[in-house]
Chains A and B, each alone.
Chain A
């Protein structure tokens, strides 16, 4: 697929990017895109908590799993020699050699098929897509082969494979490079789909994905790679995994349940803080972590407490993750809702290139705040 995007270099040059596109310094990007990518891990504080960027967390997860299981290997475009287009696989080639960390030609359908074949034969490949936009070249392998072979073979051919790479909004790369595929993969029986937000999410979910005997799609986000999060002592250990299908309540509250995933979790948390400051309301923010299976229990439990629900996600509105969350809430918690559930999603347009329009094409903190205020009649 499109190869001229050198995303890592672009991240490294964010200072340049922000000079180019004034909106890059606006609220839309200020939290993530301008975070320097070269952050170093800090020393442990008294409680053993360390700061990790999402990139470091993913890198550590890959290294630990490569170390732990000789069946695990990683392949994709630029993953070895170049250390990954986004530097997620940095140092892995040197440490594990070219049999475990493999550069491929620009053939998404080819290397995805190769990875699926290796998985069907008993290895545990981690297949990196430079971005999930490019995975469309290989989606038949993911959907028709990886997801369905166990079923179609009568259970004799498990497919322990992990597909991973950045998904959803990026900055300034126009419509063909900014799409969110959560709903696409989330709709396929046979796949498990996770979408990490924090460094702990990233590490725990990726490790769980590699260990899970099923095909798992790990939808990361480019703008989160350089963002730092505290990582608990437990999460720093090499046996740390996060179970699928369990959402995490990132912020407790009693007035409104905000269900979100990936980068929108961070945005929702900022919006929740602002809502508290402005109106004194407490929003509960749920980080889905896993798209399929979806933790409807946690959502229903929260709605029983708050009686209001808002879903926040960056995909297109039609037939999306937000739509699914609203539908499930209606099915399981309709009687507890005091107001119609709402969703904040990406706009129903091909993502514009113009910086200001691009900003308007995805959920922003003020937008989430505004919709929450409206829902709460504040």
Chain B
């Protein structure tokens, strides 16, 4: 038997780059039909297209090709060399000694507010050390630290409002901390206990919080970036439909390694063309596991790519808390101008620690390189020097803060470790929005098994025990 399977007319199967033919958009009515769809485009659409079309005038000094409308004609052939362009400059507000170097900079935070953010950075740093060791002791299956990059996450987050939406990669504990994630929240996820909002289904460090408007961290690299563009587009449309909603932006974090994935390029292009209010924040920390930036890309970092996509871009010293915060504040304003547009921030920093607990970075970089960086510059000590110069911090306060944070982390740690596991019901849930009849039957079956042999199954460590399977 011969069967012809054509769900769409052949004409609709072919992609036509550069055109928006209605044939592409219209659905076939008859299965297997080979008729060409040729419904006329709406008049309004036609008019708009005519208005935007351009034609080359004779003797024009400028290119009037549709693909480049502002380019001048020249009569000598010349290839552009990346090396003839100076590297994009890196903005600094405070130098590594804590001295203000930007004359236009005035801190906009009270002493208490700065201290709070400083404590956020300290907390991340101390928690990282403790959890890294806890993994080494076998109390945790996996962990990733953000040593050296605390300023990028805490300072950018401090310039965002709660209603803004955040997409993280996996090294932004500071964003979570600053936005109100508690030590207990961190520990509950790490130990996958019943209070873990992810219900113990993810590897450690894949935090997420609906209340804090932070999407759950997803393992596959760079997938958050096009999604962030989409979220920003949604926020923009929502506000167009209901102007009483406050203006919102999306912040999307990623590393310079992730920027090699196709998703990064797709995200920037779609955000630029659809005018999405999204701030892309690149943590350029020099390494993607073992791959140094020299082998990751040959251009001028990630920032130069933003310009290529027509996106307003800045490079900033990622170890300078104040520079990052000021940059982010300005980026937020920019992202909301002209009906919304993307902004790219490249924060230059250094991954002081190993990539994760499964990595030993001294296999591919010299220990002295790391020691050098630690000595030369560190975001925490830089802010501390600034605070000390201002007189709102000193050795005693530092000592007290470190001790109390350490105590709090250990307390949250041991509480989370003791917590029960998620209810056994959760193993049936969330594969689909609702329990499918199959899953419901399996759950019933499990329940009757547990009821028949109550002594064979110890459900003590699961929240709610057997009762979680009731209805």
CA distance A3 to B140 in the complex (A): 19
A interface majority secondary structure? loop
Q: Is A279 an interface residue (CB 8 A)?
A: no
| Contact of A354 with B141 in the complex, beta carbons under 8 Å | no
The 8 A CB mask of A1-38 against B (1 = contact, 0 = none) is 11111110110010011011100000000000000000
* A110 CB–B CB distance under 8 Å: yes
Stretch at the interface among B12-20, B53-61, B111-119, B355-363: B355-363
In-complex Cβ contact of B355 among A4, A81, A110, A133 (8 A) = A4
Residues of A within 8 A of B359 (CB): 4, 6, 9
| Interface of chain A residues 339 through 353 with chain B (CB within 8 A) | 349-350, 352-353
Count A-B contacts at CB 8 Å: 113
Cβ of A13 to closest chain B Cβ, rounded Å: 8
User: Does A357 lie within 8 Å of B358, measured CB to CB?
Assistant: no
Q: Which of B201, B219, B221, B363 has the most CB of A within 10 A?
A: B219
Stretch from B124-132, B159-167, B284-292 forming part of the interface with A: B284-292
B139 nearest CB neighbor, chain A only: A20
Q: In angstroms, how far is the closest chain A Cβ from the Cβ of B456?
A: 15
Interface string of A83-118 (1 = CB under 8 A from B): 000000000000000000001011111100000000
B residues 220-247 near A (Cβ < 8 Å) are: 220-221
B364 / chain A contacts, CB cutoff of 8 Å:
81-82
Q: Are B201 and A174 in contact (CB under 8 A)?
A: yes
Q: What's the interface size class on B, roughly?
A: 35 or more
Distance, CA A14 to CA B363, complexed state (A): 19
Known interface pairs A1-B221, A6-B356; A354-B291 also in contact (CB < 8 Å): no
Which residues 238-283 of A sit at the B interface, judged by CB distance below 8 A?
A: none
Q: Chain A, interface size: which category?
A: 35 or more
Q: Pick the contact of B144 from A4, A21, A172, A350 — CB < 8 Å? A: A4
Q: Given that A6-B289, A137-B261, A172-B141 are known contacts, is A349 also in contact with B202, CB under 8 Å in the complex?
A: no
Whether the Cβ atoms of A2 and B358 lie closer than 8 Å is no
Within 8 A of A (CB), among B318-365: 355-356, 358-360, 363-364
The answer to the question of A330 belonging to the interface, with a C-beta cut-off of 8 Å to chain B, is no
Query: Is the CB–CB distance between A21 and B141 below 8 Å?
Result: yes
A49 close to chain B: CB less than 8 A: no
| Chain B residues positioned under 8 Å from A77 (CB to CB) | 291
Q: A105-B260, A107-B260 are in contact. Are A5 and B201 (CB under 8 A)?
A: no
Contacts A105-B295, A350-B431, A354-B192; A19 near B138 (Cβ below 8 A)? yes
Cα(A205)–Cα(B203), bound, Å: 33
List A contacts of B144 (CB < 8 A). 4
Q: Quick check: A106 and B201 within 8 Å, CB to CB? A: no
Residues in A lying within 8 Å of B, measured CB to CB: 1-7, 9-10, 13, 16-17, 19-21, 77-78, 81-82, 103, 105-110, 133-134, 136-137, 172-177, 349-350, 352-354, 357
**6 cross-chain pairs, A with B, having the tightest CB-CB distances, nearest first:** A6-B358, A19-B138, A105-B260, A2-B219, A4-B356, A6-B359
Interface of B toward A, CB cutoff 8 Å: 135-136, 138-142, 144, 170, 192, 200-203, 218-221, 257-258, 260-263, 288-291, 295-297, 355-356, 358-360, 363-364, 421, 427, 431
Q: A4-B355, A6-B289, A176-B220 are in contact. List 20 more A-B contacts (CB 8 A).
A: A2-B221, A3-B221, A3-B288, A3-B289, A4-B144, A4-B289, A4-B356, A4-B359, A9-B360, A10-B358, A78-B291, A105-B297, A106-B221, A106-B258, A107-B261, A108-B261, A176-B218, A352-B201, A354-B192, A354-B201
